[in-house]
Amino acid sequence: MAGNSFGTLFRCTSWGESHGPAIGVVVDGVPPRLPLSEADIQPWLDRRRPGQSRFTTQRREADLVRILSGTFEGRTTGTPIQLLIENTDQREKDYRNIADRFRPGHADYTYWRKYGIRDYRGGGRASARETAARVAAGAIARKILGPDIVIRGALVAVGPHAIDRAAWDWRQVEDNPFWCPDAAAAKLWAAYLDEVRKAGSSTGAVVEIIASGVPPGLGEPVYDKLDGDLARALMTINAVKGVEIGAGFAAARLCGEENADEMRIRDGQVRFLSNNAGGILGGISTGQDIVVRFAVKPTSSIPTPLRTVDALGNEVEISTHGRHDPCVGIRAVPVGEAMIACVLADHLLRHRALGG
């Protein structure tokens, strides 16, 4: 119970269901005197907003954020900041048919088993709509981190099609509907996703987030290690099934001398010669880029009929038509960035308490 908060000093508490009147998040622990208005938050929400291309859900939400507390004359005051986003495009009747049926791959069955009641409209609390709250909180986290810490995400694989890492170009990321850093891959994905959609199916994806400019020293061993907190933060995003840091699972196939990031002195500074660690050693940031990847499963709501059961114990079939992302991994990119920002902001404050 009481599982809707995360962070220790920078602490977010979110609330709201997909088809209730609104969703939102209380962001507590924000240092005072930071300039903050809706204009600082809205652009990040706009990046996540659905309906921006044919590859994401056609639900139309303006996702306009309002600050209800915690600022005064355009600056934070140190008191909790309530961010509220109204739900405007609810189509309750779309969901009558799933009131008693458990969609495979969704949380329908488990919410019903856990709570004995569930708001079935659009997935209720389990809807990816909740991630708007994360993105809004992430915008505040970025204000705490300041301009020197840059957090950027990209989609690095869609279904079986991975990018060519040699072709990585950050400028591409904003130029295609996939946050794809490889122009050739983006073209391939467009064709692939059209095909997937026509087939009444969906596909998974892999997201990579890189945080640059993070100072060494963030992370609190041994259970609040930075990588532990990042893994949790990302794994709680809807549809995420795996998280890795640096070389990640590939590290398991390496030998010791390949994996070790050797160090030299360059211009009087310690420099690592590689970054298999993904910027974290012993749960503490090294000062290198923090590199994390996470796997997003294919959208569970698909037109293809699936076998399932209902709450009365009947065997039924279900197929989902209407507004759904063929690849939820796409919109997971800004969400992942936001979660990284929140975790880093929390650890920055925690580290500051050390006087360091």
Binding to its own copies by residue 182, rule CB under 8 A?
no
Stretch that binds its own copies, among 54-62, 90-98, 169-177, 256-264 (CB under 8 A): 256-264
Binding to its own copies by residue 82, rule CB under 8 A?
yes
Binding to its own copies by residue 256, rule CB under 8 A?
yes
Residues between 36 and 55 with contacts to its own copies, criterion CB under 8 A: none
Determine which residue in the list 65, 137, 214, 233 makes contact with its own copies, applying CB under 8 A: 233
Beta pairing, strands 81-86 & 161-162: unpaired
Q: How far is the CB of 337 from its own copies (least distance, A)?
A: 17
Q: How far is the CB of 174 from its own copies (least distance, A)?
A: 23
Which of helix, strand or coil describes residue 283? coil
Binding mask 117-136 for its own copies (x = CB under 8 A): xxx----xxx---x------
Binding to its own copies by residue 29, rule CB under 8 A?
yes
Residues between 265 and 294 with contacts to its own copies, criterion CB under 8 A: 265, 268, 270, 273, 276-278, 280-287
DSSP state of 77: -
Closer to its own copies by Cβ: residue 51 or 305: 305
Binding to its own copies by residue 224, rule CB under 8 A?
yes
Find out whether 235 and 332 touch, Cβ atoms under 8 Å.
no
Which of helix, strand or coil describes residue 288? coil
Binding to its own copies by residue 107, rule CB under 8 A?
yes
Torsion of CA 159, 188, 238, 225, to 10 degrees: 80
Closer to its own copies by Cβ: residue 51 or 215: 215
Backbone dihedral angles phi then psi of residue 110, each to the nearest 5 degrees? -75, -40
Rounded to a whole number of angstroms, the CA Rg of the chain reads 21
Query: How many CA atoms are closer than 13 Å to the CA of 327, on its beta-carbon side?
Result: 30
Backbone dihedral angles phi then psi of residue 149, each to the nearest 5 degrees? -100, 115
